[in-house]
Chain A
Amino acid sequence: MALSANPPSFPNPAGPQGQPQAVPAGAHPRLTLLWTAAAVVLFVAMLALGAAMRAVQGSVAPAIADRFYALMTLHGLGMAGAMFVGAMAVASYFMGRYIETSARASAIALGGTLLGVVILAFSTLVGGFGAGWYFLHPLPFSALGGWPLWTAYLFMAGMAVLGASWLLWTISILRGVAARYPLSRALGWHYITGKKGEEVPPLVLISTVALIAVFAALVAAVVIVVLFLTEGAQGKPNDPLMMKNLIFFFGHTLVNITMYFGVAVVYELMPEYFGRPWPANRVVAISWNTVLALVLLAYLHHLYMDFAQPPILQAIGQIASYTSALPAAVVSIYGGLMLVARAKARWTLTSSFLFLGLLGWCIGGIAAVTDSTIMANFRFHNTLWVPGHFHAYMLLGVCMMMLGAAYRVVADNARVAEARGVMISALYVLGGYGIVLMFYAGGADGIPRRFALYPAELGVGAFYAQLSLVFVVFLVLGVAGYLWEAGRHWFKAYARA
């Protein structure tokens, strides 16, 4: 196991007595480098699809309007999947400082992910499958000429491959945590009860919460695929309401978990750049256990418009959305700001992206919680506000966290000093916030989402899409700078890892 080339100024306590130690870089560096490279390549490809979609909406590229929903399907699923595996890969890499993880399970999951992505890309880009990442029942099999039936089966096969691979990987990391910590310790219950015990790094605590929740989300994905295939084989319809509940249980939870992995890495790495500890404590433990208790219910806010959903579940959806998001977010943002305030900071590409990612998570999270409020959702539902908030916490939140941590993995293993990357950060932030702002402005104007081409009465939606393309240029320049900075050291890192 290699030692970090960027020695932390204040590592989290790793030893049984809570003594700071020489911190190893992380587990399975070569595999992690492959994971992060795959995630970054996918991120760039999905970025291109997103830009193409905005070009269609802005009437700049009407020739590909027929492909809009296929692009949207791959963009949504591909970006969420890329960030999920990228964030989980860097989290498990840094968890290697504290626990043993299985290289074999990780390698199988990487192979499964690549295979699944190829299958999904074929079903959407070649077959034209365009039911959206949420593939709501009965749309995949009722395309009304939109796409051939085989693409729906292929899409389900791709989902099954991804779900099985990721489930295996999740179980293997959970087993690694279990080999070192009892469940009560891994979840930090001793902080809550006030009992003395081994220090648990926040990275392990938050990742354990995330892994348990992602297990549930992936099981839901498997159930969905089985139900779709059963219906296809038997012709007996499924309950659309049950299918929608399952689909959003899977999708909403997976995206949330992705953010939690990103935040877990922020807790782990930021102390190393700001010279102050960020240990687990009672407040941190309570907030993240609240997340575990309630995040599996928060998805219910996606069904506010479903008149057949019992009203009690709508109320639970709003309450769970607030209680699962706010405590952990407030504790993390407050902790992050206290860590940075007046600190002797070492600003690098990693620390800048992690800190800015934390802010993006907060900004997008506020909009998300707003949208989960029934009164607000009544106005914002299916407007551009929705992509506004999820692009804020994805593009400016977890993507930045993942990219920052991935760069750290490269720099550590290449044994080179980290670049400051001020211009890269500035271009990324300018482009990213501009793109998000255009979505928010469209939402405030009541422009509906998921329109390939805006009719004349919604012409302002096309105007916002055109302006977005200007900001896409800034974002692309920022990402190109990142690729240059990380890419030029990647091969050296892989060779030395």
Chain B
Amino acid sequence: MVQGLRQGLIGLIVMAGALLGLPAAASAAETGWAIEEHGLYRALPDVLLTDETGRARRLAAWSKETPLLVTFAYARCTGICSPLLRQLHATTDRLGGRGDRYRVVVVALDQADTPKLLQAFARSQGIRGPGWSFTTAAREDVARLEAAVGGWSRPLPDGQIDHPALVGAVREGVLVQTVAGADFQAPRLAVALAEAQGDFLPVYPAPESDMALRCFSFRLDGQGFGLDWGIALLLAPAGLAFGATALIFRPRRGP
């Protein structure tokens, strides 16, 4: 038994050594991925976007009218564009409010695209309904906007454009959330939308907010804290346990 254990342990150590070498090899091949934290809470370049109706609007003014989900695609794309747009369509359909409370703005990455062409591509993917805008912009503006959201695009030898799947949630010209990847789920996009619409995302409520019980009271100038009534609830379980133990073990008089 002990001999078997020893041999097993040696085997595990050898395997561990082999495996620890793998991450470096795997991660070396993966470079330049989009990062969701990139550029958060910064003003986006105020680029001029022209939609499929021919109307041209500045991004800052447009996002003051309504929160925007900005994403990037192009009509000849054989890669991530289709899954990204379909996921965006399915998820926003599920969450509701598209067109009423926010818009999805698709920016063409290919200068050969027109807004109509981009719209036709999207329709070929089954994307319909209100709240979509398919736009083009000057080459430099597209590059600046995409970089500000945390992405990039570069031409490939086969004529395709390499770019990450990105959705930027924009409120009043400011990037408030970025969702990277095409496989996001509804709650993730719902958080981005909530922030784009100016909803408060609860992290820790401000001390003056209406609350049933609070365990600590904080000074607004950041200089220390005090105990509040809620602390009694924190201490209650231990107090009750020790009290009940004393009661259960109380000395009993003999018969």
Contact = CB atoms under 8 A, between A and B. Distances in A.
B16 A437 contact: yes
A178 interface: yes
Contact of A238 (B16, B212, B236, B245): B212
Contacts, number: 159
Classify chain B's interface size: 35 or more
B-side binding surface: helix, strand, loop or mixed? helix
B246 interface: yes
Interface stretch (A28-36, A47-55, A94-102, A448-456): A448-456
B241 A223 contact: no
B215 A242 contact: yes
A-side binding surface: helix, strand, loop or mixed? helix
Given A182-B249, A444-B20, A239 B27 contact: no
B212 A65 contact: no
Contacts of B209: 237
Interface string A424-452: 00100110011001100100110000001
Interface in A388-430: 422, 426, 429-430
Nearest to B12: A433
Given A237-B209, A347-B1, 4 more contacts: A237-B205, A237-B212, A249-B234, A463-B22
Interface in A253-307: 296, 306-307
Contacts of B210: 236-237
B120 interface: no
11 contacts: A65-B185, A143-B187, A145-B186, A171-B244, A219-B236, A230-B212, A238-B211, A240-B202, A249-B234, A308-B216, A455-B183
B1 A352 contact: yes
B30 A310 contact: no
A456 B218 CA distance: 42
A445 B27 contact: yes
A307 B203 CA distance: 10
Of the candidates A212, A249, A455, the one having the most CB atoms from chain B within 10 angstroms of its own CB is: A455
Given A146-B187, A237-B205, A242-B230, A223 B212 contact: no
Contacts of B225: 310
Nearest to A217: B237
B213 A239 contact: yes
Given A171-B244, A223-B236, A238-B211, A66 B185 contact: yes
Contacts of A246: 233-234, 237
B191 interface: yes
Interface of A: 62, 65-66, 138, 142-146, 171, 174-175, 178, 182-183, 186, 212-213, 215-217, 219-220, 223, 227, 230-231, 234, 236-242, 245-246, 249-250, 296, 306-308, 310, 345, 347, 352, 422, 426, 429-430, 433-434, 437-438, 441, 444-445, 452-453, 455-457, 459-460, 463, 467
Contacts of B241: 212-213, 215-216, 219
Contact of B23 (A183, A345, A445): A445
Of the candidates B1, B194, B249, B251, the one having the most CB atoms from chain A within 10 angstroms of its own CB is: B249
A455 B166 CA distance: 12
Contacts of A457: 30, 33-35
B248 A239 contact: no
A245 B227 CA distance: 14
A462 to B, nearest CB: 10
B242 A65 contact: no
A212 B11 CA distance: 42
Interface in B200-255: 202, 204-205, 209-216, 218, 225, 230, 233-234, 236-238, 240-242, 244-246, 248-249, 251
Of the candidates A183, A186, A249, A347, the one having the most CB atoms from chain B within 10 angstroms of its own CB is: A183
A306 B213 CA distance: 18
A183 B246 contact: yes
B234 A245 contact: yes
